Structure 1
């Protein structure tokens, strides 16, 4: 250290007094970026050490009044539809560095949410880590293109930011990385001679669990992407210093079980609401809604047994509609179940051959056309 080096104040005295006291629900991201009161010329850097202790003392409660906890619960509710979202609760094994090179008062930083100041793993980082792992394990290029896209096309899967799971614990933790051969690494010495004094470097890392979310219109692809993500977290890790054991995850079973129970409860509630909504519909609208749900489900062929049973039921429903409903309602049903734009588009292999002619004839009758051929 140069003899002329001096401590330098980085914060106005009035703010220093505020930061010296006990902060209620502090914004950790702001502390990381602006919380250092002064630059310590001494190698021990007591001011930096105090800031790391202050940030590491932040505890996220599961009190409903806590802003981050409320935001996290809202995100969980948004992503509870298992037809679109696949989720994983993963716990850090040890410590994790994320956003180590980001600018901040501590020289090395962590990635935090801009609004809530809480730890997060950016969706772009999650996607990049999984893409790297997918290539490493030899996933075919066409599969990787669906998962991640390419220069010309977007992928089918959305990789969302991973949120830190609030559970009355402390997300931040102080770390010390000791450099033993500073002059060698800086190029001042040709060889590391074991004569240099080791230099402790105070840093901050994170601990705890994260809520990972992937989204896709196709449930099977969402689940496949989620499984690949978890394998990456276990075997490759995320963030910096994975070669030194940082950034590896395991399943957080208690949180995952809680997610699963919550999703089952919400799925049950949605099913009850949909049933109630169907029951409140006029009978001709309910007929269409129920068959559209069937058409959007499993893909049938003209030869499979289940598909044949469903076809007989569908044909009977159209015949009953012609007998039971007035002309206006019949025309409405025929429009909503148009052969080419709806039936064939949703189930291309179900209405082939003789079936095509039969269904077209029934739809023509519903439209009131005299020539049903």
Structure 2
């Protein structure tokens, strides 16, 4: 079937795609038409998880329950994993081939966890032989040993962010000639910025990650190694970040209330969601303040630290004395508004502030 015939079978209009990956890679009619690119990304951004994916996700969790250690993590900043993947838009995103939903590749999770383990080794907290147990020996070492830990692909939880995990973002190259000509043309204030739109995974999206120990699922020692690897992975996701542009604030996670492959502790009935409010931390007063229209929600002292502790250090520093955009959950009782939970931070990358 030709590309034109495939495109004709995809639903037209302003609705999202049933398979965001298929729409993203096959539905763009002209690469040189900015309006076509904008409309395509808009449709991808409103694409929802289908019932087929929801059933597949639940089936996948059930299969893992007896063979792996699992944990649920929530994005607190946008995620750009697989930017270098082949794409008609020149900027890729890793998606599940069958269902078109975001996916955390097991290879990327293993590499991130190994990076955290190497840091522990450098600080004298992990022995070299422990590193080999987790990840295997170096390729040049003889004999070559395979790692005991298996890092599964992380699946998007369709119950989070209303089943709509995608978000349209933009990267603006302020001095294209300077970069394309490798410095032979100096950057100036007269250059024409080149905005490049692309798709990321939106903050607040939750994923289930899993680690198992090959051949030792029922062994107590194997279970302990799996638990250690999973704790290390969760720390790395929160403090090192996954995917591209982590230095710009992308790809950071926080643990959720979920444990194992079970359910989540539901928010209290009187909890209210504030999206894209202004969030600020005042260290001198030990207060975290969320402002939404004319309302203010405050967390003080111990409660403030409980909200901030799961966040990566870089993000906590951004909150000091400066308001950032965030999604939070609050409780409103009469005139008192209490800040309960920080769900996501919408960080402003440097290129949006006028820097190159």
Pair 1:183-2:177 in alignment: yes
2:73 aligned with 1:90: yes
Taking the aligned partners of 2:52 and 2:98, their CA distance within structure 1 comes to: 10
Q: Which runs of 5+ in 2 are unaligned?
A: 217-221, 265-356
Q: 2 CA distance for matches of 1:109 and 1:90?
A: 23
| Cα distance in 2, alignment partners of residues 243 and 14 from structure 1 | 39
User: Do residues 224 (structure 1) and 228 (structure 2) align?
Assistant: yes
**Which position in structure 2 is the counterpart of 1:213?**
210
SS at the partner of 2:134? helix
Q: Report the RMSD for the aligned CA atoms in angstroms.
A: 2.3
Q: Cα distance 1:116–1:122, how it changes in 2: closer, same or farther (>3 A)?
A: same
Partner of 1:48: 37
Shift, 1:20, TM fit: 2.9
Asked if 1:201 is matched to 2:200, the reply is no
Q: Distance in 2 between matches of 1:107 and 1:70?
A: 32
TM-score (norm. length: structure 2): 0.63
Paired residues of 1:35 and 1:105 also in contact (CA < 8 A): no
Aligned mate of 2:64, from 74, 79, 83: 79
Distance 2:158 2:134 in 1: 29
Q: 1:190 deviation in Å?
A: 4.0
SS at 1:116 equivalent:
coil
User: Contact (CA 8 Å) 2:15, 2:46: kept in 1 or not?
Assistant: no
**What is the 5 A alignment of 1:324-363?**
none
What's the counterpart of residue 165 of structure 2?
A: 171
CA 195–25 in structure 1, closer or farther in 2 if over 3 Å, else same: closer
Question: What residue is the counterpart of 2:47 in the other structure?
Answer: 58
- Give the Cα–Cα distance (whole angstroms) in 2 for the partners of residues 39 and 222 of structure 1: 45
Q: Which runs of 5+ in 1 are unaligned?
A: 1-9, 263-373
Q: Distance in 2 between matches of 1:50 and 1:156?
A: 46
Give the C-alpha shift of residue 116 in structure 1.
1.2
- Counterpart Cα distance in 2 of 1:261 and 1:106: 37
Does structure 2 conserve the Cα–Cα contact (< 8 Å) formed by 1:121 and 1:163?
yes
Partner of 1:120: 103
Post-superposition offset of 1:80 = 1.3
Q: 4+ residue runs of structure 1 moved beyond 6 angstroms?
A: none
The correspondence of residues 15-34 of structure 1 with structure 2, limited to 5 A, is 15=7, 18-21=10-13, 26-34=18-26
Which structure shows the bigger proportion of residues in helix conformation?
Answer: 1
1:146 pairs with 2:133: yes
After superposition, the Cα gap between the structure-2 partners of 1:15 and 1:160, relative to the gap in structure 1 and judged at 3 Å, is closer
**Judging changes above 3 Å, is the alpha-carbon distance between structure 1 residues 27 and 221 closer, same or farther for their aligned structure 2 residues?**
same
| 1:179 to partner: Cα distance | 0.8
| Contact 1:178–1:199 (Cα < 8 Å) also in 2 | yes
Distance (Å, rounded) in 2 between the aligned partners of 1:72 and 1:51: 26
Counterpart contact for 1:96–1:206, Cα < 8 Å: yes
2:219 alignment counterpart? none
Give the counterpart of 1:161 among 150, 153, 165.
153
In the alignment, what sits opposite 1:237? 241
- Secondary structure of 1:90's aligned partner: strand
Distance 1:258 1:123, change over 3 A: closer
Q: Is the 1:159–1:213 contact (alpha carbons within 8 Å) kept by the matching residues of 2?
A: yes
- 1:278-313, CA deviations, whole angstroms, 9 ceiling, x for partnerless residues? xxxxxxxxxxxxxxxxxxxxxxxxxxxxxxxxxxxx
| Secondary structure of 1:39 counterpart | coil
Instruction: Give secondary structure in 1 for the equivalent of 2:199.
Output: strand
- The alpha-carbon distance between structure 1 residues 119 and 109, as it changes in their structure 2 partners (threshold 3 A), is same
SS of residue in 2 equivalent to 1:38: coil
Structure 1 residues 104-140: Cα deviation after superposition (integer angstroms, max 9, x where no partner): 2221111111111111111111111111221123232
Q: CA distance change for structure 1 residues 15 and 109 in 2, over 3 Å: closer, same or farther?
A: same
